[in-house]
Amino acid sequence: MVRLRRLLASSPLLLALAIGGCADESGGGGVQSEKMNTIRSRGKLVCGVDGKLPGFSFLGPDGSYSGLDADTCRAVAAALFGDPAKVEYRDLNSSERFAALASGEVDMLARNTTMTLSRDSAGGNGISFGPTTFFDGQGLMAPVASGIRTLKDLAGKPICVESGTTTELNLADRMREQGIAYTPLKFQTGDQTYAAYLGGRCVAVTSDRSQLAAKRSSFPDPAAHVLLPEVMSKEPLTPASVNGDPAWSDAIRWTVFALFQAEELGITKANVAAKLAEAKANPNQADLRRFLGVEGDFGKQLGLPADFVVKVVGAVGNYGEVFERNVGTGSPLRLERAENRQWNKGGLIYSPPFR
């Protein structure tokens, strides 16, 4: 009884302490994010990747991860810690990726995940998507020699497709819409599908364009095959984090936007130091100064270091460099930028203003 009374007597004090504590923290202007605190105290970012997808994430012979998705993880680690190496990659298959995110096993996903309504909505998977880092879509590949350049050229011709996939359904839908009759040749596995295509049993093969490009680079003569310009589905591959921690989602979002914006401003891995020196020397370049964190408090508003953009671009380069290095025309995948060009060059890559 005495103990209880003492406890009751002290409770206002406790309450005041708690409120005081809260007031202190919010008064500091710091961003509150449980996830970011966890990541900081752990000392590294745990990033869920596919790990087996050419151009997006795979292990190099030296045991390091490469690819567009791996570079996204690296960029976020650079923003948080100033060190792109502070990432623990976790290979996830497509069925466990959302569970791993929800249970907190991974801090974020950069795992060629298509953003859809049901994955985004609170009533669905309830995860929070960042900006799309790769606009993929279902395409068609045909031999250059066949002369096939558009969907119409495929009328009455056999097309190889993997059975039981959304790819098969999309192809059927698009062809029905356009009133083109064709013969689907269905196969159980991807390997069988491409073997049949190479064996000449069909004049075209369909899959996601990034997959077609990856397969093409393994063909005996990659230059003899062309991707048709038609895109039959939308597959925006997008990094994601768990819902309910807006500060963490914002940090990921603006790290990716920084990659986009850096390309737009012509800031590259090679010249970022020079640009920073230029911004420091010239007070008239207000936009550049704010973007690189010389003035203003963008970093602080996000809960990131003031110079996070410098660290990100210094680590992985701008978006264009990331794209070219991993999947672009200079890489074995030889993908055109296409809809992944900057918005002012006719593409969909667009960063809102850093303001």
Partner 1 sequence: MKAADSLLASLRRELFASRSDGVISVGLLVLIGAAVAGLLRWAFGQAQWVVIQANTTLFALGRYPLEQQWRIWLLVALLAMATGLSWGLLRANPRADRSGVLWPGNDRIAVAVLAFLAAWGPAALGLALPLQLRWWAITALLLILRWASGRWGRRLPAGLLRWVPLIWPLLYLLGMVLISGGLGLIQVPPSEWGGLLLTVLMASFAILASFPIGVLMALGRRSELPLLRWGSVLYIEFIRGAPLITLLFLGQNILGFLLPGGLAPDRVWRAAWVLTFFCGAYVAEAVRAGLASVPGGQQEAARSLGLSVPQALQHVVLPQALRIALPATVGQFISLLQDTTLLSLIGLLELLGTARTVMANPEFLGKNAEVYLTLAVLFWCCCAALGLGSRALERRLDPSNTPA
* Interacting residue ranges for partner 1, rule: CB under 8 A: 51-55, 57-63, 66, 88, 90-93, 95-96, 99-100, 102-105, 191, 214-215, 217-219, 331-333
Q: Residues 6 or more apart from 23 whose CB is under 8 A from it?
A: none
CA distance 79 to 130: 15
CA distance 316 to 268: 9
Q: For residues 188 and 218, which CB has a smaller minimum distance to partner 1 in the complex? A: 218
Query: Are residues 228 and 151 in contact, defined by beta-carbon separation less than 8 angstroms?
Result: yes
The residue written with tokens 């999947």 in the block is 327
Single-letter amino acid code for the residue at 264: E
Q: For residues 196 and 265, which CB has a smaller minimum distance to partner 1 in the complex? A: 196
CA distance 310 to 127: 28
Q: For residues 151 and 333, which CB has a smaller minimum distance to partner 1 in the complex? A: 333
Q: Residue 58: beta bridge partners?
A: 66
